[in-house]
């Protein structure tokens, strides 16, 4: 079998932002022996033109048989060898938030040019793949779907469900995480909402206005994040947009019932192991939460189906799919 040398190009480290890094750390751990991976990390944060140009130039010297830009710093692709470069695209969420010139610059340098300057593009869900095809109008055959993996430490952890005052876990505070509607949906429910992510004053005000008992968790390690899943009674992930939605699978792997959205990538990722709700309708969100709390049989079924669904996203399975792509490019 042909041995391939691969470079993973990663973004500059940022506090409390590590999802992509954690994903590819797990993938590298499970990578087959014939695929030898080294890591190159950006020297500068992704802000301003000059720091980005410096990193693009420096990245050229770290090229291998296969170059893989693992996400977020798509502009690195522009000076790498297009015949042996892979780009993973995690989402297109910023395109939906920006307007005018800023949106055009992002579209051009983060999506349109990088997609054309690489051998293959990996989308982390079919939803992301379709959004990328629509946005950059490239050859659909160039974009493959390789799902994210769930870390091995997320293992079944039985817990007696507290129906009287459930501990509800919400991952994320960005606009697409839909915290304001979640707060409105939970009004009047005896529960504790644990939010992973920094709350801004407006979000805290919304939670208090709706009478929600809440706690915020910031800067968690991998072990501390796992502990929050283990302590939770259910995970509420009523996001309005996700490139993938890893908290769904993490909750399923631990054995927690999940309430998540019926749009974007979330049905694709959740499979049959989640209660799907309309994230734009607070009544729908509340109905889903109420059903999980009140219906023990339904709740147990979600957990059982969640375990089966989470097995699809093992690091070994995801690493083998990346390895197959690396071998294909190295041979060519």
Query: DSSP for 253-322?
Result: HHT--EEEESSTTHHHHHTTSSEEE-TT-HHHHHHHHHHHHH-HHHHHHHHHHHHHHHGGG-HHHHHHHH
Q: Do 173 and 128 share a structural domain?
A: no
Same domain, yes or no, for 185 and 61? no
Same domain, 322 and 269: no
Q: For residue 286, is pLDDT > 80? A: yes
The answer to whether residues 102 and 28 belong to one domain is yes
Residue 161 lies in a domain: no
Per residue in 53-93, pLDDT (tens digit) is: 999 999 999 999 999 999 999 999 999 999 999 999 998 88
User: Largest Cα–Cα distance in the chain?
Assistant: 62
Do 124 and 65 lie in a common domain?
A: yes
Structure tokens at 100: 């005018």
Smallest CA-to-CA distance from 67 within 114, 155, 147, 5 is with 5
- Report the predicted TM-score, pTM, of the whole model to 2 decimal places: 0.87
Phi-psi region of 104 (alpha: psi -120 to 50; beta: other; left: phi over 0): alpha
Q: Identify which of 272, 246, 276 has the alpha carbon closest to the alpha carbon of residue 260.
A: 276
Residue 1 has pLDDT above 60, yes or no: no
Average pLDDT over residues 11-28: 84
Cβ–Cβ under 8 Å, residues 176 and 239: yes
Instruction: Quote the domain boundaries for residue 72.
Output: 4-149+314-331
Cβ proximity of 164 and 190 under 8 Å: yes
* Residues 202 and 321 occupy one common structural domain: no
Residue 302 lies in a domain: yes
Helix axes 19-29, 315-331, angle to 10 degrees: 80
Question: Closest Cα partner for 313 from 120, 101, 30?
Answer: 30
For residue 144, is it within any domain?
yes
How many domains, the chain?
2
Q: Are 81 and 182 in the same domain?
A: no
Considering the domain architecture, whether residues 44 and 78 belong to the same structural domain is answered as yes
Instruction: Quick: pLDDT tens for 175-230.
Output: 999 999 999 999 999 999 999 999 999 999 999 999 999 999 998 888 999 999 99
Average pLDDT across the chain, whole number = 94
β partners of residue 14: 17
Residue 233 and residue 134 share a domain: no
- Considering the chain, what percentage of its residues have pLDDT values greater than 90? 86
């Amino acid at each position: 079998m042909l041995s391939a040398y691969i470079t993973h190009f990663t973004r500059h480290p940022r506090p409390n932002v590590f999802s992509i890094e954690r994903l590819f750390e797990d993938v590298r751990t499970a990578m087959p022996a014939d695929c030898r991976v080294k890591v190159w990390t950006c020297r500068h944060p992704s802000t301003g033109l000059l720091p980005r140009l410096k990193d693009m130039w420096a990245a050229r010297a770290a090229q291998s048989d296969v170059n893989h830009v693992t996400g977020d710093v798509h502009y690195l692709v522009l000076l790498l060898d297009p015949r042996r470069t892979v780009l993973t695209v995690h989402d297109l969420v910023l395109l939906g938030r920006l307007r005018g010139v800023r949106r055009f610059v992002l579209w051009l340098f983060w999506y349109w040019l990088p997609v054309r300057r690489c051998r293959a593009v990996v989308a982390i869900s079919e939803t992301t793949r379709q959004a990328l095809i629509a946005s950059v109008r490239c050859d659909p055959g160039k974009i493959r779907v390789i799902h994210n993996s769930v870390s091995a430490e997320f293992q079944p952890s039985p817990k007696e469900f507290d129906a009287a005052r459930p501990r509800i876990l919400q991952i994320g505070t960005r606009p697409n995480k839909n915290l304001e509607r979640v707060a409105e949906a939970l009004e009047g429910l005896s529960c504790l909402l644990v939010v992973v992510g920094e709350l801004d004053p407006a979000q805290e005000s919304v939670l208090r206005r709706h009478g929600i008992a809440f706690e915020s968790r910031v800067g968690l390690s991998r072990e501390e994040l796992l502990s929050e899943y283990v302590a939770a009674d259910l995970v509420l992930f009523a996001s309005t947009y996700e490139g993938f939605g890893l908290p769904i699978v993490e909750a399923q792997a631990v054995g927690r019932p999940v309430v998540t959205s019926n749009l974007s990538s979330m049905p694709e990722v959740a499979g049959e192991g989640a209660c799907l709700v309309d994230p734009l309708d607070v009544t729908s969100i509340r109905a889903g939460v109420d059903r999980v709390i009140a219906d023990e049989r339904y709740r147990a079924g979600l957990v059982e189906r969640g375990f089966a669904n989470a097995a699809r996203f093992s690091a070994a399975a995801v690493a083998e799919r990346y390895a197959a792509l690396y071998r294909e490019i190295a041979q060519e």
